[in-house]
Amino acid sequence: MSVLVTGGAGYIGSHVVRLLQQRGTGVVVVDDLSNGRPERVGDAPVVQLDLATDAAVPTLTAAIAEHGVEAVIHFAARKQVGQSVAEPARYWSQNVGGTANLLLAMEAGKVDKLVFSSSAATYGAPTTPLVREDGPAEPINPYGQTKLVGEWMTRAAGRAWGLRAANLRYFNVAGAGWDDLGDTAVMNLIPIVFSALDAQQAPAVFGDDYPTPDGSCVRDYVHVLDLAQAHLAALDHLATDDRPHDTFNVGSGTGASVLEVLAEVRAVTGVDVEPVVHARRAGDPPQLVADVERITTTLGWRATKDLHDIVTSAWSAWRR
């Protein structure tokens, strides 16, 4: 079996690529290398490609045929909430257009298994302490909207030509499974804080007046290696005939506030982390924490690492 991994040279994708390689699965990576690094994927062939371009469908179709691809894991997308609010058309073009091109190539190449990188941003601003997959999906920013549309597209392809898909709604991903695969993009909270510490600047907290215990946003943080293992579990699930669900939360089931994360960074690094509070960012919900019963029951997956593991591994990779 050979698996095509879009965005496979990036932070999350490279963890999945390494796990696939460790279990002896052939891998081909498709990545535009805007954030990805080819040295992350070992000896896996890399096709440099922007999925949203006109060249995407024929190039992907050729790669599928050349490498005998039987399944796809789709990470490639723009993912910054604030940027999506400022540049919505770009996000629709990249995320929705890129997914459409991928599905066209999969249909042409007769590849019927897809693990799709979705997001907890599809839930918007839920009012429940834990969010379930069968609850309302009402995204409040263009990024979340594009991910929800991606889920619709996988279901439509299933009805039209038999695609088997698993949509994984990620919560906040952090940490590192190996020091050489740390998050270097400085787009997520923990690397942003580390970058501020390196520059001897105070990290920013966007909003301290949310309806949460300490006023800062609460998120569910999941270790990237746990998340990568969830993709392998989902891939194996697609080979079975009994697939009662196509959408799964991937989180720890436990929330931590921004200020609690900063306290853990202080404990791990020994560096005094006193933030500067700024106004809220557009499109940020107060709280997002996963109900993980479905993925545990159906795929047998559960997060094994906590916030301390996440920050410790992220700091080790960052120092490297």
Q: Region 183-206: what's the mean pLDDT?
A: 90
Pull the structure tokens for residue 235: 């891939």
Q: Specify the range with the lowest mean pLDDT, choosing from 33-47, 205-219, 280-294, 302-316.
A: 280-294
The rounded distance, in Å, linking the Cα atoms of 57 and 48 is 13
Is 41:14 a contact under the CB 8 Å cutoff? yes
Residues 6+ apart with CB under 8 A from 142: 84, 85, 88, 91, 92
283 membership: H or E segment, kind and range: none
Nearest to 73 by CA among 37, 41, 120, 39: 41
Is 138:124 a contact under the CB 8 Å cutoff? yes
* Helix-helix angle 11-22:224-237, to 10 degrees: 60
pLDDT at 41 over 80: yes
pLDDT at 184 over 90: no
Domain 174-220+252-319 CATH assignment equals 3.90.25.10: yes
Predicted confidence at residue 216, as pLDDT, reads 96
Q: Which of 11, 91, 123, 143 is catalytic?
A: 143
CATH architecture of the domain covering 2-173+222-250:
3-Layer(aba) Sandwich (3.40)
Under the banding of pLDDT at 50, 70 and 90, the label for residue 260 is: very high
pLDDT at 107 over 80: yes
Residues in the chain: 320
pTM: 0.95
Under the banding of pLDDT at 50, 70 and 90, the label for residue 15 is: very high
The rounded distance, in Å, linking the Cα atoms of 221 and 261 is 9
pLDDT at 140 over 80: yes
Asked whether this chain's domains 2-173+222-250 and 174-220+252-319 adopt the same fold, the reply is no
Predicted confidence at residue 272, as pLDDT, reads 84
Q: Where are the domains of the chain?
A: 2-173+222-250, 174-220+252-319
143 classed as catalytic: yes
Model pLDDT for residues 81-95, shown as the tens digit of each residue? 889 999 999 999 999
Is 69:28 a contact under the CB 8 Å cutoff? yes
Q: Region 107-117: what's the mean pLDDT?
A: 98
The rounded distance, in Å, linking the Cα atoms of 153 and 36 is 25
Under the banding of pLDDT at 50, 70 and 90, the label for residue 214 is: very high
Model pLDDT for residues 271-310, shown as the tens digit of each residue? 987 899 999 987 678 888 999 999 999 999 999 999 999 9
pLDDT at 56 over 90: yes
Under the banding of pLDDT at 50, 70 and 90, the label for residue 185 is: confident
pLDDT at 23 over 90: yes
Distance from chain centroid for Cα 152: 18
Predicted confidence at residue 320, as pLDDT, reads 86
Q: Region 167-195: what's the mean pLDDT?
A: 93
